[in-house]
């Protein structure tokens, strides 16, 4: 017996109301495994692959490339064999991409695990990356739900079994390494890479052989435009700048970067030290970690640092959660991971949510002074400019020092010049306190 199952656009986030089909990864007649991506979708938050909830043959595509449809809209039909058809009281066509299809293994799960077959997008993506079936993974979450930790534990268990089976000679994937000659800017662009630019479609050619250039506005670009307009319209911006002597920091990084590359396989950037300095300053001046709520000012308990990461066609702000719990090495790893996921288009909605203070490393592009727009609805944003050698007067003598500017934009409804001046001074002190004895771990 065969069943026709519709794959629909899932509700990936509360604010998500529609999505655009960017590319179909499968075509009619292709076989699709459960959790295998069938297409790529573009939302106003991130781009994501849409996994199939069932295993079967793709028989019809309902929504073409480039079309935007509301959440819950069927986008394709998959023909499922009777043994692999979804079970339960709900009709097959109501199955969304956020819920998993039941299989014979899943049917054996006891009724005291009502959440067993409800998988989050993050869990589905992780399972797809490691090519495992979620029905085989024991769930330890509420109601038997499978968590990311469960998936990672299952993957680790499989690696151990493979090693034991082969007598300990199983090939183990080497840790991610980065060629020192292709170091990565904190902006997410390779130093050895020519930056790509948005594709331009030429239309409306005139008799003279010239015409206007048109660039389609993507959902992400539309969201950037809306948020920037909202920020400058609603938030009364002010800005201030301070100069920092980072000579000792330059010496420290030069001393540690080679060993750090050998040990961790990633580049040790100045941004990691800056984030540590900013986080410690926020601890001392917690009002910087706040938001405007009309009749209240909400001071956030968690310090979640959003990083402005540039790609060829947009600027995204992935978030380092609980940045105050991480040392410099931990922050460096988070920066590298988020930059990599941004370059590869693998950011999730979770990566983009919860930011309380934004930092932008504009110095990676050679900027020495900038006026950033606040990442709405946060209270402030800080830019770290280029490190430049300058003549500086120290004790009435001129010395050549490595100097950098820190530029802060602030919401003047919440913050004033005095408090922001103290905050910047604290960041400055923290950066200048690094020396050759400072530790990364």
Structural domains in the chain, sorted by start: 2-165 (2.40.50.100), 219-432 (3.30.559.10)
Say if residues 299 and 205 touch (Cβ distance below 8 Å): no
Query: How confident is the model at residue 150, as a pLDDT?
Result: 80
pLDDT of residue 91: 40
Q: Against a cut of 0.75, is the pTM above it?
A: no
Token pair for residue 338? 């988020």
To the query of whether residue 216 is one of the catalytic residues in this protein, the response is: no
Catalytic residue among 258, 259, 302, 416: 416
Model pLDDT, residue 189:
37
Rounded CA gap, 363 and 312, in Å?
A: 17
Tell me how far apart the alpha carbons of residues 69 and 71 are, in angstroms, rounded to a whole number. 7
Locus of tokens 């449809």: 69
pLDDT tens digit at each of 441 positions of the chain? 788 999 998 877 666 788 889 889 999 999 999 888 899 888 877 778 888 989 999 999 999 988 888 888 999 999 998 654 444 443 444 444 444 333 333 334 444 444 455 566 567 767 777 777 777 888 776 557 677 778 888 887 775 555 455 454 444 444 444 443 334 444 433 343 444 555 555 555 445 556 788 877 877 888 889 889 999 999 999 999 999 999 999 999 999 999 999 999 999 999 999 999 999 999 999 999 999 998 999 999 999 999 998 877 778 899 999 999 999 999 999 999 998 888 888 888 889 889 999 999 998 889 999 999 999 999 999 999 999 999 999 999 999 999 999 999 999 999 999 999 999 999 999 999 999 999 999
pLDDT of residue 17: 81
- Say which of 190, 237, 412, 429 is annotated catalytic: 412
CA-to-CA dists, residue 421 to 235, 389, 407, angstroms: 19, 24, 11
Is 325 tagged catalytic? no
Is residue 154 within 8 A of residue 136, CB to CB? The reply is yes
Looking at residue 197, what is its pLDDT? Answer: 53
Record the tokens describing residue 288, joined without a space: 């910087």
SS (H, E, C) the chain: CEEEEEEECCCCCCCCCEEEEEEECCCCCCEECCCCEEEEEECCCCEEEEECCCCEEEEEECCCCCCEEECCCEEEEEEEEHHHCCCCCCCHHHCCCCECCCCHHHHCCCCCCCCCCECCHHHHHHHHHCCCCHHHCCCCCHHHCCCHHHHHHHHHHHHHHHHHHCCCCCCCCCCCCCCHHHCECCCCCECCCCCCCCCCEEECCCCCCCCEEECCCCHHHHHHHHHHHHHHHHCCEEEEEEEEECHHHHHHHHHHHHHHHHHHCCCCCHHHHHHHHHHHHHHHCHHHCEEECCCCEEECCCCCEEECEECCCCEECCEECCHHHCCHHHHHHHHHHHHHHHHCCCCCHHHHCCCCEEEECHHHHCCCCCCCCCCCCECEEEEECCCEEEEEEECCEEEEEEEEEEEEEEECCCCCHHHHHHHHHHHHHHHHCCCCCCCCC
Q: What was the pLDDT predicted at 218? A: 78
pLDDT value for 349: 81
Predicted pLDDT of residue 114: 47
User: How many residues in total does the chain contain?
Assistant: 441
* Peptide bond between residue 235 and the one before it cis (omega within 30 degrees of 0): no
Estimate the crossing angle of helix 270-284 against helix 247-264, to 10 degrees: 110
Token pair 């934004």: residue: 358
Contacts (Cβ under 8 Å, ≥6 apart) of 169? 163
């Amino acid at each position: 017996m065969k069943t026709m199952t519709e794959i629909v656009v899932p509700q990936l986030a509360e604010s998500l109301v529609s999505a655009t089909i960017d590319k179909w990864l499968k075509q009619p007649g292709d076989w699709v495994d459960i959790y295998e991506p069938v297409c790529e979708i573009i939302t106003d938050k991130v781009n994501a692959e849409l996994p199939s909830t069932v295993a079967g043959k793709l028989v019809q595509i309902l929504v073409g490339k480039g079309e935007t449809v509301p959440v819950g809209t069927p986008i394709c039909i998959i023909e499922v064999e009777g043994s692999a058809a979804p079970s339960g009281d709900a009709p097959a066509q109501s199955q969304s991409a956020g819920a998993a299809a039941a299989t014979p293994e899943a049917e054996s799960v006891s009724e005291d695990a009502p959440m067993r077959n409800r998988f989050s997008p993050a869990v589905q993506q992780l399972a797809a990356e490691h090519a495992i079936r979620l029905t085989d993974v024991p769930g330890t979450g509420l109601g038997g739900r499978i968590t990311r930790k469960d998936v990672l534990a299952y993957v680790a268990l499989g690696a151990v079994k493979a090693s034991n089976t082969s007598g300990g000679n199983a090939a183990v994937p080497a840790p991610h390494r980065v060629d020192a000659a292709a170091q990565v800017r904190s902006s997410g662009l390779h130093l050895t890479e020519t930056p790509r630019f948005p594709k331009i479609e030429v239309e409306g050619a005139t008799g003279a052989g010239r015409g206007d250039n048109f660039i389609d506005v993507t959902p992400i670009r539309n969201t950037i435009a809306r948020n920037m307009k909202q920020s400058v319209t609603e938030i009364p911006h002010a800005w201030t700048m301070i100069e920092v002597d980072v000579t000792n920091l330059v010496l420290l990084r030069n001393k540690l970067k080679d060993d750090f590359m050998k040990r961790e396989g990633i580049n040790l950037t100045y941004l990691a030290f800056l984030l540590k300095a900013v986080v410690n300053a926020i601890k001392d001046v917690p009002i910087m970690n706040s938001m405007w709520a009309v009749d209240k000012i909400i001071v956030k308990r968690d310090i979640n640092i959003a990083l402005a990461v540039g790609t060829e066609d947009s600027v995204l702000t992935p978030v380092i959660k609980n940045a105050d719990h991480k040392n410099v090495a931990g922050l460096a790893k988070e920066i590298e991971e988020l930059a990599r996921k941004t370059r590869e288009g693998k950011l999730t909605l979770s990566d983009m949510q919860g930011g309380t203070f934004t930092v932008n490393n504009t110095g990676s592009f050679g900027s020495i002074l900038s006026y950033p727009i606040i990442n709405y609805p946060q209270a402030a944003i800080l830019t770290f400019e280029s490190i430049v050698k300058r003549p500086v007067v120290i004790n009435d003598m001129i010395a050549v020092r490595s100097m950098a500017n820190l530029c802060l934009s602030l919401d003047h409804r919440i913050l004033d010049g005095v408090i922001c001046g103290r905050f910047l001074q604290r960041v400055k002190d923290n950066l200048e306190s690094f020396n050759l004895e400072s530790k990364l771990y």
